[in-house]
Amino acid sequence: MFDRVKDSIKKFSSKSAIDEEAVEQLVKDIQRDLIAADVDVGLVSKLSDEIREESLEGKKQGLTRKEHVLETVYNKMEALLGEKPEIEIQPQKILLCGLYGAGKTTTAAKLADYYRKRGLKTGLIAADTDRPAAYDQLKQMAEKADSEFYGEPEAEDPSKVVDRGLKEIDADVIIVDSAGRNSLDDELKDELAEMNSVFEPDESYLVMPSDIGQSAKDQAENFEEAVGITGVIVSKMDSGAKGGGALVACATSGSQVKFIGTGEQVSDLEVYDPVKYVSEMLGQPNLESLLEKVKELDTDPEKMLEGEFTLEEFREQIESVSSTGMMEDMMKQLPIGGKLPDNISQLTEEKTQAYKYIIDSMTDEEVQDASLINKSRTERIASGSGRSQNEVRELIKHYRQTKNMMDKLDKGSMKRGNMQNMMQKLGL
């Protein structure tokens, strides 16, 4: 599943020159990889056009062309795979539905284990009266999940089983495992409607296997129309070559994936996280650092000009721009047109970290008013931060030089319009 995408990204990343030909080859490789993962051809075509167009557009200041292309691919793939859900850890009733072979019974136990580990008492109700082995299977899985269990091996009416189970089970989270069919026929629709009436679930999850591929879209839409699902759990993600297609299909149908099943054990359930999924899929060991760099480049310099420039603001700015050189470029566009004093824009990561330790060792009063820091306070701060007194004095010197520079700026000339013009000149 998507392993080919990882290989394609790796091949692209190894190139020394990133030109239009390299981008076009990457787009073609990703097209092939996604279609092999059973992603809808129309979506693949649209995604390819967007990656091609945005990769060849102007890039953010501070990013290399290669980093710009990788960020574009990352953003497009993340958008394609939907959003991360919010899972509430609180008492609730959950109904699982789906067709034969979807993995509902195993998923029910996995959900019970998930909520139990987060401090909630769980209970499972075996409402699959259609499959002979369902009762025994869920009972065994309930033991593994350390969950209460209720079922009636000879019962024929699942709604009555649910009704009696609600009276017998004392739990915070109650999960009902319903029966499946080969298709969503009228019999299954009626059965689920009756259980809905009796159980009144807070969540109704459709469970579907990853190997269903892009057919997941039709199934999610059909179940939504018939019984009103609140989310999807994609099971068997460890074995489905079409898992990517299923995830994309759910996202494009408007059905949010809540969890994914990643193995056979009760602990093999994860909250669906497209950001993590794309990071692993792209296989970029430095992707996290790239995204952090992009975040740093999004720093709003207009905030630097608002209010009193304290040591707290100084720390925030050296953290956000010291590694990118953006401060130096920005200052060249300001009315004073100069350089940062004492090469503040060249601060090393080690020096930035030392400054953070020093500021963390100051009192709130000192952070807000650096003029309070005399000889005795310098000694205390140095001792508390584990840094030398010379480093403390150096920090104060840099802060005062920067503050003086900021104070000299013509705030009136730095209205939002002028600030935006400056940022446009920087390509930000």
> All domains of the chain, ordered by start, with CATH?
3-83 (1.20.120.140), 92-272 (3.40.50.300), 299-426 (1.10.260.30)
pTM, to two decimals: 0.63
Backbone angles phi, psi at 85, to 5 degrees: -80, 160
Structure tokens given for 123: 């209970």
Tokens of 283: 């296989």
Q: What is the pLDDT of residue 255?
A: 82
Is the Cβ–Cβ distance between 370 and 350 less than 8 Å?
no
Strand intervals (E) in 266-331: 269-271
Q: Given this model, what pLDDT does residue 168 score? A: 94
Give 37's DSSP letter: T
221 and 255 Cβ atoms separated by less than 8 Å: yes
pLDDT per residue, tens digit, the chain (428 aa), is 567 788 888 888 888 778 888 889 999 998 888 888 888 888 889 889 988 888 887 766 667 788 888 888 888 888 888 888 888 899 999 999 988 888 899 999 999 999 999 999 999 999 998 888 889 999 999 999 999 999 999 888 999 999 999 999 999 999 999 988 888 888 888 989 999 999 999 999 999 888 887 788 888 888 888 888 889 998 888 766 667 778 888 887 778 889 999 888 999 998 988 877 777 666 654 455 555 555 555 544 444 445 567 888 777 766 655 444 444 444 444 443 444 444 444 455 677 778 888 988 888 888 888 889 998 899 989 888 888 888 898 888 888 877 776 665 544 444 434 434 433 443 33
Dist. CA 320–CA 154, nearest whole Å: 65
Helix (H) or strand (E) holding 173: strand 173-178
Nearest to 259 by CA among 230, 279, 235, 241: 235
CA–CA distance from 277 to each of 25, 119, 136, 290, 310 (Å)?
A: 23, 27, 34, 16, 40
Name, in order, each residue with C-beta under 8 angstroms of 360's C-beta and a sequence gap of 6 or more: 385
- Counting beta carbons within 10 angstroms of the beta carbon of residue 401, is it exposed (0 to 12), middle (13 to 18) or buried (19 or more)? middle
**Beta strand pairing call for 173-178 and 122-127:** parallel
- 92 membership: H or E segment, kind and range: strand 92-97
Q: For the sheet with 231-235, list strands across it.
A: 148-151, 122-127, 173-178, 92-97, 203-209, 231-235, 257-261, 269-271
Token pair for 201: 């679930």
Rounded to whole angstroms, the Cα distance separating 390 from 397 reads 10
Q: Estimate to the nearest angstrom the gap between the alpha carbon of 85 and the chain centroid.
A: 9
- Burial (Cβ within 10 Å: 0-12, 13-18, ≥19) of residue 284: buried
Indicate the SS3 state at residue 323: coil
The pLDDT value recorded for residue 386 is: 83
**CA gap 164, 234 in Å, rounded:** 29
Query: Looking at residue 13, what is its pLDDT?
Result: 80
